[in-house]
Chains A and B, each alone.
Chain A
Amino acid sequence: MLTLTHFLILSFLLFSIGVAGVLLRRNIIIILMSLELIFNSANIALAAFSYFLKGLNGMVFVVFNITVAAAEVAIGLAILVAVYRNRKTVNVDELGDMKG
């Protein structure tokens, strides 16, 4: 029998892997992919709560979440293209100009 805990643990494993990717990688495209992993882990948790609590709010929220993630990827990749055009690098360690 599958319980809520199964899905929450899977969601949290994917979340941790995404956070580790954001913290550890240097390639900004891989960092954006790790952000997608984090979005997906949140979606799994919301859909699991929706199913196990027998309500629809979580599923509606997943639909909105996927929409926002699509907008985020479009803007993120546009910024990436603009940065690459000026700086010719995708390495985040070389993009530290705004660091105080």
Chain B
Amino acid sequence: MEQIPFFIFAAIAVLSAIGVISVKNAVHGAFYLMITLLQVAAIFILLRSPFLAAVQVFIYVGAVMVLFLFAVMVLDIGKEELRETFNQQGVIAIPAVLVMLALIGYMIIGGKVLAPAGNLTDDVLIGNSTEVLGKELYTKYLFPFEVVSILLLIALVGAIVLVMKDRKR
């Protein structure tokens, strides 16, 4: 019986995601987003990927949300609260989103998976998917792994350069 936990996690995730985009205060939005990210980690557990769940909690809930809260704190945007929350393009945006929801929902429900199934047994998926994932990451996916590490280095240097004050003036 996995359905009951799935529906609980999914309902909390969707409700707090709606909370993210509808609250006025950015700090409250950050906390709602944290709830959504934790539910997504639980969904990863239901998909038998404990490594992904741990990474989700460490990186998203740990690092990314702290970065968001830090930015909100540094920028001191409390005074922005009283302004109008939504912009004026809701008349166009809401029907567009609803049409997209209907179209892709129709495709998801009517679609059929034609991709060939892989060769992993349930034993591997439930037991030690982390070990298999690590071996794949360091052998078959070594080049993307290195590229992503260079990307992280560029992001690190770029973020420092962007927020550094110009010393010449």
Task: Report which A residues bind B (CB closer than 8 A).
Answer: 1-2, 4-10, 12-14, 16-21, 23-27, 29-30, 32-34, 36-37, 40, 43-44, 47-57, 59-60, 62-64, 66-75, 77-82, 84, 89-93
Contact = CB atoms under 8 A, between A and B. Distances in A.
B129 A59 contact: yes
Given A63-B137, A90-B75, A54 B117 contact: yes
Contact of A54 (B6, B119, B160): B119
Q: Interface of chain A, helix or strand or loop or mixed? A: helix
Given A40-B40, A70-B59, A77-B71, A30 B21 contact: yes
Contacts of A6: 6, 10
Nearest 8 A/B pairs, CB to CB: A55-B118, A21-B21, A71-B155, A23-B93, A78-B162, A78-B159, A54-B120, A17-B17
A73 to B, nearest CB: 5
Nearest to B162: A78
A31 B154 CA distance: 23
Interface in B1-53: 2-3, 6, 10, 13-14, 17-18, 20-21, 26, 29-30, 33, 36-37, 40, 43-44, 46-49, 51-52
A14 B49 contact: no
Contacts of B83: 26, 91
A40 B148 contact: no
A37 B136 contact: no
B89 A36 contact: no
Contacts of A30: 20-21, 26, 29
A3 to B, nearest CB: 10
Contact of A51 (B49, B104, B148): B49
A47 B49 contact: yes
Most buried by A among B20, B72, B133, B156: B20
B23 to A, nearest CB: 8
A83 B36 CA distance: 28
B117 A20 contact: no
Contact of A56 (B60, B118, B144): B118
